[in-house]
Structure formats: C-alpha cells, structure tokens
Structure 1
Amino acid sequence: MERLQKIMAQAGIASRRKCEELILGGKVQVNGETVTALGTKADPDQDEITVSGKPIKNEKKVYVMLNKPKGVITSASDPEGRKIVSDYLKGVRERVYPIGRLDYDTEGLLLLTNDGEFANLLSHPKYHVPKTYLATVKGVPHGEGLDKLRQGIMLEDGMTSPAEVEYKDVDPDNKQAVISITIHEGRNRQVRRMFEAINHPVIRLKRISYGDLLLQNLKRGIYRHLTPDEINRLVQMAMSAKNSKPEGKRPPRRRT
C-alpha cells in the first residue's frame, strides 16, 4: 500500500504536489469513491484509481531535455494561443511535464518527465540542485554589485542563497555584459530580480546547465532523451546536495 499521491506521480499524472491538489479538489476516485484525504493509501495492483474519470496506468518512464526557445510557455496549454513546450515534443508519446519553469522570455535547458518522484527530487527546495544561467545585462556591473549576489541579496520574498557569479564577456560599445550565475533555488523570475536589485536589468537569459547536465550544442527547439547515466548522476547530486545545504535563508517554494 502506498500514498495515493505517490502512486499518481509514479504513473505520470503530474508532480506529487499537483497530485495532492487533484486529490484535495475531489478529482480522484478509488474503487468508485471520491477521495479527498492526502493520507489515503491504495494498492495500484488491486485498486481501481481514476483521475477526472480516467483510470491511471503506469507508463514507461521518460526523461527529456529540451532547449526551450524564447517566447514559449512552460505549460500544458495557453489560453492566449502562444507556443507551449509540448509543441516541440511531437516525438514523445508519453505525457510529460516540466521540472520547474523557465519564464516566457527565458531560453535554454528545460527538463521534462513523467516520473513524479524524479521531478520532486530535483525541484524540491531541500535538495538545492544547482542551475547555471548566462545573463546578458544592461551596463557592466562593478565588483561590488556582483559581490552582493555572491553573498545573497534581499528580494521582496526574502534573502537569496549565495550565488556563484563571474564575468563572461563585456561589450563596452553597447554598454552591456554577459554574466554566468549559478543558483540553488527556484523562485519566480529569481535571476532577473537579482540583477534588477543591483540595477543591471537582464536583456537576455539562457539556462545552460542543470546539475552537471549541460545544454552544450543542443539546438534551439530540439529535445533529446537523457541517458541512464545522466539520470543517475542527477539523482545522486540531488541526494548529496540535501546533506550539504548552501547557506542563506530559504523562502517558501515558488516556481522558477
């Protein structure tokens, strides 16, 4: 017997957090009876479990890395009719969902899966898997500004954890710079807000790594499946990060 939200996540319905919302919303039935208690347990081999009237089934686990283009929504649908990440996954038969978010104007490495346990491991704030971005910013930040990011900077939702920051390129003619920044959190539009806090707003933002997984030469709008070794390394990194938390006060979990 396992908790219902864990069974649902393992079946690829959604992340465990989203599965909990489905249960609380009365969308889940076990053997014909609606369940709304999060502590409910079931046997996936014996019990009939349905979500919004549809029976769940265990799918083959899929792990995908997409080079998300700018101007694409990290969502299953968009009421405004804009492009969504699933538009770029036509060859993936299984229903996958993003691990965290990249906002509309941010491009780069996005992981998607139907493995709820894997998604929870990488996205839960207690695991602190590092994510690296290349940020093209207005102006050229002085060392003092970057030091603030390295030490942790106060945002409206609290102090950030220390970031790893270094110059990559400076364009004095256009008065802008390219900065590499690695963070361990996943707050809403966090990198953009961090640079705004030191008065150097982001012009372009690209995620280039997730843990030790690198975007490298994967073309924009193209995806590939992760190898078993890459999956195992991400799991091991998340578990190791759990036992060596970066310093700094953590706010409540929010989407990237």
Structure 2
Amino acid sequence: MERLQKVIAHAGIASRRKAEQLILQGKVKVNGKVVTELGVKVGPQDKVEVDGIPVEREEPVYYLLYKPRGVISSVKDDKGRKVVTDFFKDVDKRIYPIGRLDYDTSGILLLTNDGDFANLLMHPRYEIEKVYIAKVKGIPTREQLKQLEKGIMLEDGMTAPAKVKMLSINKQKQTAIIEIRIHEGRNRQVRRMFEAIGCKVMKLKRERYAFLDLKGLNPGDYRELTPHEVKQLRALALSGGGK
C-alpha cells in the first residue's frame, strides 16, 4: 500500500506536492469515490483517477545516461534537435531528465519516471554534490580560483562556496583544465562562474553526481541504477546532500 499522492507522482502526472493539491481540490477519485484526505493509501488493485482520467501506474525506473555534447536535456525539442530520451528507444516508460545539462555540456544525467524522486534530488535544500571538469581559455590565477571557492556574484545572486582544483595548464595555448565541485544547479552556472573571473569555458563535462560516475560508459550509453544506488541517493538528499 502506498500513499495516494505518491502513486500520482510515480505516474508522472504531477509532483507529490501538486498531487496533494489535486486531492484537496477534490479532483482525485479512488474506485469511483472522490478522495479529499491526504492520508489515504491505495494498493495495486485500486482504480485511481485524476480529473476523470485513469492513472496508469508504472513501475518506477531510474537510469544514468552519459549525455553527449549537442543533445538537449528534454523529452522533446521544437527545433527538432536530438534530446536525451532519444537514447532510450527500447524503454517503454515515460521517463524524463532530473534537472538538466546544457546543450554543449556532456556527462552524467539521471532520468526517471518517479516524480517524487526527481523533486527530492532537484530541491535546492537537498542539492547533491556534482563534479565538473572544465577546459577554459586563459589560465586563472590562484586568487581567481579562491574567488570561485568563496562564491561569485552572478546576476541571480551569490554562488555557494565551491571546491576547485587545477588539474593541468598549457602555457603555449593559454588553456587550463580545472575540476570544480558545486552543490547548486543554476542555469549554465559553471560557465557563468568561469566567465565572471575572465575565463571562457571551451569544454565542460559532469564527471560525478554524488557517488555516481561514468565508469564503463561511452557518450550515449546508459545503465539502470541499482536499487541500492536509488536508496543511497534518497538518503543522501535527505541528509542534506552529504554537505
């Protein structure tokens, strides 16, 4: 037996919070009867409807994709560009990405049909650590790297402290490869942080997401998360992202 709002969230209809609102508004029926209380639990045999439409209950699935560059983090694109779900032709469930990676950024992206799980990982309060490798034009000074570590003022506010490590430099080409660890997930955040210290990002890859990495995968490959990994991610988010 599961809580009604969780079943609705798992079906991909709405987040758990939105599902709770739908229940309170009297828009949800269980076995033909309107339910307006949040504590109701339902089993596999119960018939659930939202706004008169039957809820198709899917088993929750969780995937890790090595997103290549030049792919949109969405389920469709009005310009006809390649999207991340194009790599899941053999998956018959309605999955969608948890958060996003920029079009030009490669690396780890998680996908699921579990709205509750997705919202948990994306909630600003529970931000998970993400590790990026950036190739930048220009060699930042030690002081500039310290600015990234302390926080950078962007147009949407100050960034949280980051962990930064210089991996290599090419004095001839005036480029550097830098590892940066952040907990936030703002739009194009890593690129904007480097631009703020005068370094343009030439290439960007998300190498780690919490304890997950890209081991054994090539760009465009994906694998299913193990039940233990899903459990670990939930626990990590609820503990404050491991910070």
Query: Displacement, 1:97?
Result: 1.1
Distance 1:48 1:201, change over 3 A: same
**1:23-73: per-residue Cα shift (whole Å, max 9, x none)?**
6xx9x94349999x9x9776655563236x642122111110001111111
CA RMSD of aligned residues (A): 2.9
The residue type equivalent to 1:107 in the other structure is: S
Residue matched to 1:11:
11
Percent identity (aligned): 51
**1:139-181: per-residue Cα shift (whole Å, max 9, x none)?**
1111111100101111111111100100112122221111100
Distance 1:201 1:218, change over 3 A: same
Q: TM-score, normalising length from structure 2?
A: 0.85
Q: Is the 8 A contact 2:64 2:224 kept in 1?
A: yes
Query: Displacement, 1:86?
Result: 0.7
**1:211-255: per-residue Cα shift (whole Å, max 9, x none)?**
01111231000110011222222222212226x75xxxxxxxxxx
Q: Is the 8 A contact 1:208 1:216 kept in 2?
A: no
CA distance in 2, matches of 1:125, 1:66: 22
The residue type equivalent to 2:48 in the other structure is: E
Confirm whether residue 115 of structure 1 aligns to residue 114 of structure 2: yes
Residue matched to 1:50:
50
Residue matched to 2:105:
106
**1:78-111: per-residue Cα shift (whole Å, max 9, x none)?**
1100001110011222111111111111111000
Distance 1:171 1:61, change over 3 A: same
Look up the SS of the partner of 2:220 in the other structure.
coil
Residue matched to 1:146:
145
CA distance in 1, matches of 2:189, 2:33: 42
CA distance in 2, matches of 1:120, 1:202: 29
CA distance in 2, matches of 1:34, 1:138: 60
Residue matched to 1:196:
195
Q: Is the 8 A contact 2:4 2:42 kept in 1?
A: no
Look up the SS of the partner of 1:74 in the other structure.
coil
CA distance in 2, matches of 1:117, 1:30: 18
Residue ranges of structure 2 left out of the alignment (5+ in a row): none
CA distance in 2, matches of 1:181, 1:131: 8
How many correspondences in the alignment?
Answer: 237
Distance 1:82 1:213, change over 3 A: same
Distance 1:108 1:14, change over 3 A: farther
CA distance in 1, matches of 2:142, 2:15: 40
Q: Is the 8 A contact 2:136 2:175 kept in 1?
A: yes
Q: TM-score, normalising length from structure 1?
A: 0.81
**1:111-132: per-residue Cα shift (whole Å, max 9, x none)?**
0011222212211111121001
Matches for 1:78-117 after TM superposition, within 5 Å: 78-117=77-116
